[in-house]
Amino acid sequence: MNPGTATVVIEAITPQIEGGKYPIKRAEGEDVVVEADVFKDGHDIVAAVLKWRKAGEEKWHETPMAPHPYNDRWRGTLTVSGTGAYEYTVEAWGDVFLSWRDEVRKKVDGGLTELTSEALEGARILRAAGGRATDSADKATLESFAKSLETAEPARLKEIALDPALEGLMRFYADRSLSTTYQPPLGIWVDRRRAAFAAWYEFFPRSAEGKSDSGSTFRDCLPRIDDAKAMGFDVIYFPPIHPIGETNRKGRNNSRTCEPGDPGVPYAIGNRRQGVNGGGHKDVAPELGTLEDFDWLVGEVRARGMEIALDFAINCSPDHPYVHDHPDWFFKRPDGTIKYAENPPKKYEDVYPLNFHCADWRNLWAEMRDILLFWAARGVRIFRVDNPHTKPVAFWEWTIAEVHAQFPDVVFLSEAFTKPKMMRALAKVGYTQSYTYFTWRTTKPELTEYLEELTQGEMADYFRANFFVNTPDILPLHLQTGGRPCFVQRAVLAATLSSVYGIYSGFELCEATPVAPGKEEYLDSEKYHFKGRDWNAPGNIKDTLTALNRARNEHPALQEYRNLRFHTSENPQILFYSKMTAARDSIVLVAVNLDPHNFQSGWVEVPINEFGWHERDSYEVRDLLTGETFIWNGARNFVMLDPRTRPAHVLEVRRWQGRERGADVYA
């Protein structure tokens, strides 16, 4: 930028991540509200536009920005469409026409009568704009206005200067020769809609039929998938589906003794003796079927309007072809043998971790990328990545960019239950979604503080939380002790606090038996054996999950992430919050009893001022879980939540005008 021509100061643009080092994230159709400090020397009136374009395009789109009346803070909004990389910036200038117009208005209003020079100056400004005009009709209109100015008396001069049609033309053909553009442009990564709004259902394909003595195949999975669809889930997440190693194969409940018929742990990936496509990460376990069977299942799932997400677990069994072909890719002990994985005191003798800093790291990194590209080419566009925090951040930044260059619609979910800074770093370098600490947040202060950090601060621009209520590895203590009410409570919280959430199968059956008291692990985990289940067992919460997912699909407010707001509840055991669209055409209030054992009641404060309503107004709220309707009045209302029958309210808000009109009329 030439300092001799830069006339406007532009600074403090938001949103931006680390000075523009990383792009912000949005999904198709979402708005980006951009703010900036824009000001200049002197008394000229400043004009500013927000500009954006898809990366690689030459032409910018732009929209005017509007200033705050007092503090030189400007705001503009853009809407993104189409996946991929975008960039945006702000351009501003001292507007010659607007400054002249303001001067004329002040002088005429002040009673000055000799304005010949001002009229001629205005005509010159208009003719200069005519020289920039590209449309002949616009040129003619500007010339007509210019001629009128030359002979105009003061009152007429002001009238012409304030003419809306003239203002529109002059804004379009503004003199930007001395404009300032913020450099370098800032980035946006735009994901497809399902990255920002989805309900995940995880199950092991080998346990699809719920048999305890034998496994299922890909061809047996459709009934389980159809049941998940009936509950309203749209992403089917499979743990690893690859060949499983035989060396050091684990038995039931992680036993070192593997009995005949024990299927092994799917995370011990690779068996070059069993695979038909190499036996590694680009192959499927023969007991599940063939690659063609998997392709068939992908097509069936897509035909149902759903998707399959695959687990990308960078683990290798001792029988993986990499161990034979690339032994230098692994960590070695002093005696030259390969080290197995450990997380003391846990030992994973059936898994060898890869060394991403080995001498042949370039080929190792390329192979990991090629695994993702292999499955993406077969129609898989969602990957849940196992333990990404144990691999270099630089590797993920490179790999995700490489995959997105060919498949910009691929979604990456980070399973990194680790230190917050590492979780944030992974999101910044490209992860679409992230697991979170929601799994362990149970109290009102914990949930409020954590959710405000996730959805209201800078994190909301790059960190998209996927709220899983449980996983095959995690049976939280509150689910072990809270009974069926706790399962309903946690489902409501996950499905309404975030726009993306998920359950691991068995949650709908309220499975809660730990391997030992105080341990957050399942007894007889299906990671180690075939899991027998009655998918319609008494006491299940399938109806609640169905109602929750229906509410999410029918109410746009629940499909957004950054619109969460907490409100006053006088009972510390009742969490009260809202979600609403910017247009207020979708408003949902949620009250959750955080105590799964006891009845709780109390007053809550509804933000009617944000609805544009008054204290005297009445309105209907309809519970989307039960169908009950209530008429509430003003801001202060009373809720009663019995954990056994009604652990939560999910309330659709509609304005009720019956009192004013003498009839039950809804707006």
Residues labelled catalytic: 386, 415
Buried b (16+ CB within 10 A) or exposed e, 8-29: bebeebebbbeebebbbbbbbe
Q: Residue 545: which H helix or E strand, with range?
A: helix 542-554
Gyration radius of the chain's alpha carbons: 31
Facing residues of 94 across strands?
46
Task: Tell me how far apart the alpha carbons of residues 518 and 121 are, in angstroms, rounded to a whole number.
Answer: 82
Between CA 234 and CA 371 the distance in angstroms is 24
Contact at 8 Å (CB) between 48 and 40? no
Torsion of CA 622, 628, 633, 634, to 10 degrees: -40
- Give CA–CA dist 539/508, Å, rounded: 9
**Strand, coil or helix: what is 390?**
helix
CB 575 within 8 A of CB 589: no
The burial class, CB within 10 Å (0-12 / 13-18 / 19+), for 176 is: middle
Of 526, 516, 527, whose CA–CA distance to 212 is shortest? 526
Per-residue b/e over 194-209, b at no fewer than 16 CB within 10 Å? Answer: bbbbbbbbbbbbbbbb
- Rounded distance between C-alpha atoms, residue 641 and residue 592, angstroms: 8
Q: What gap in Å lies between CA 72 and CA 544, rounded to an integer?
A: 50
**Residue 495 in 3-state DSSP?**
helix
Token representation of residue 467: 């709220």
Cβ neighbors of 52 (< 8 A, separation 6 or more) are 32, 60, 61, 62, 78, 80, 86, 87, 88, 89, 188
CA distance 236 to 326: 33
Q: Is 383 helix (H, G, I), strand (E, B) or coil?
A: strand
How many Å separate Cα 5 from the centre of its chain? 41
Q: Are strands 648-655 and 587-593 parallel, antiparallel or unpaired?
A: antiparallel
Nearest CA-CA partner of 34 in 91, 93, 88, 94: 88
State the Cα–Cα distance between residues 390 and 383, nearest whole angstrom. 17
In the structure encoding, which two tokens stand for residue 625, read together? Answer: 């879980």
CA 616 from centroid of its chain's CA atoms: 37
Place of tokens 């007894």: 523
Q: Which residue has the tokens 């399973």?
A: 415
341 within 8 A of 352, measured Cβ to Cβ? yes
Strand partners, 514: 522
C-alpha angle 434-437-443 in degrees, rounded to nearest 5 = 145
Contact 287, 294 (CB under 8 A): no
